[in-house]
A and B are shown apart, each in its own frame.
Chain A
């Protein structure tokens, strides 16, 4: 206690360790890399030189105006239904955790129904809503006078039906994710907020949700990427998305594989952007737990002995000197006290 180690020593010590200890070589990994590379090249070669695969058609349609319009619809559908899904998800999650049995049951029924029936069925149902309710109106319930009314067929276009189906379904999944996030926050946090006189809403928005984000973000990223591709289901209700327009094109020119490749390339572009964004957001909310960048993981696996360096360890090491300084001043203080 009286003789704290000089702070500089920790750094020097680590360097010494690095000099002394070398990891064992990993020949197995290198063999695996070569085998995998060979398989990948061979597979790519069989596809690329395949005369049945019309790359010129792929190139022709990749940036075609019709395809790009479909791509834009896909992006719109994904973003809007994901945002609406989050809003529904938060509301339903809070309902599920409320004291009121009415709210809990309502929320439970919602999740049960919309998670329990296929999305495809829901999409077709919304698109055909007119069969059940030919007219949609606002007014007094039970056949009272109506204020406004619309024909269902004009109101529910393919796009609107797609949005309804996707958001309501997404809300059911998001509610479970948000609920798990909220429940992961220490109940003491709510009590701390309550003891300051905060209302339940304030506690939720200022204390609980910001902390729940750490748990919510990774599965949310999953949901978002999944949503990008799930939008292709709306092709059954003429949703005019990327998949629908690709289908329309290949039904006319019979270039099925080529147009599926065009669509797939765009889906891959979208999901790649989304995963990069996901990792950035994860790092923002929880620097310690986010996976390190891909190139670092690959290098870390191939270099002898060492795993990929974790950002958490680096962070702690950076904080180390400060702590030891603090400790040394403290022990100096206690030493003073003792001499007195």
Chain B
């Protein structure tokens, strides 16, 4: 029921962000973010909308380009490589970026399942098309994953025939099919009807217990408190406060954290 059940985080750093800056035109959405996530750890990122949480998450698999700083996943700079002198970086070749993304699973707020493919085909798409694994092997693994998210009997349904919660669970299975070392969740339950939130959080909780390294941007404070190893509170593009759920939720040190928590708890 609590974090004590999960596999204890090891010392291996899976994700590290240092001084990450990002601006959209005049607006600086990330003003120097520093973060570290160790193997098996679950990091929940909370904060008001517009605080840069989702943008930060999208930088982790290079869906967004950054303007300064560096992001490393599995000890490799994501999206950039050293170039020239004085620590300058330049963007990697598209093929290298694709290889890096293969190992970073992402779950979107609005699911983004491929609507023209069944649940099973959605899960099989990555391994067959990107990794070119043999179909039979991929299919049995995909069925296993659908079973794991409780949708074995929905394998041949199209996304339009599934509820939001079921679609999001298929999306999680699709990301897991690539055997990622890191899973990113971008407000995975924000687009769901309230009664469907529980089933998705349940799957994520099981995933956390199995030892998956996860970064979860969420508004579900209950989930963050129960499952997260560490919680980061972001506001206006900066990390205001970070610590264990107990620290952040019960004894926040900053006024802004307190103000935010008082509105959502």
Contacts and interface: CB of A to CB of B under 8 A. Distances in A.
Interface of A: 186, 188-189, 191-192, 194-200, 202, 206-207, 210-211, 319
A202 B129 contact: yes
A199 B61 contact: no
Given A207-B114, A210-B116, A195 B130 contact: no
B175 to A, nearest CB: 7
A126 B108 CA distance: 52
Contacts of A195: 61, 63, 101, 104-106, 175
Contacts, number: 58
Contacts of B99: 197
B142 to A, nearest CB: 13
Contact of B112 (A188, A198, A199, A200): A188
B126 A197 contact: yes
Nearest to A206: B129
Contacts of A186: 112
A200 B95 CA distance: 10
A197 B108 contact: no
B178 A189 contact: no
Interface of B: 61, 63, 94-95, 98-99, 101-102, 104-106, 108, 110, 112-116, 125-126, 129-130, 161, 174-175, 178
A277 to B, nearest CB: 21
A189 B104 contact: no
Contacts of B161: 319
A188 B178 contact: no
Chain A to chain B: the 4 pairs with minimum beta-carbon distance, closest first = A197-B102, A192-B112, A195-B106, A196-B126
A207 B122 CA distance: 11
Nearest to A187: B112
Contacts of B94: 199-200
A196 B112 contact: no
Contact of B63 (A194, A198, A210, A211): A194
Contacts of A198: 98, 126, 129-130
Contacts of B63: 191, 194-195
B126 A189 contact: no
Contact of A191 (B98, B108, B174): B108
Nearest to A285: B116
The CB with the most chain B CB atoms within 10 A, among A191, A200, A319, is that of: A191
Given A206-B125, A211-B115, A211-B116, A196 B108 contact: no
A319 B158 CA distance: 12
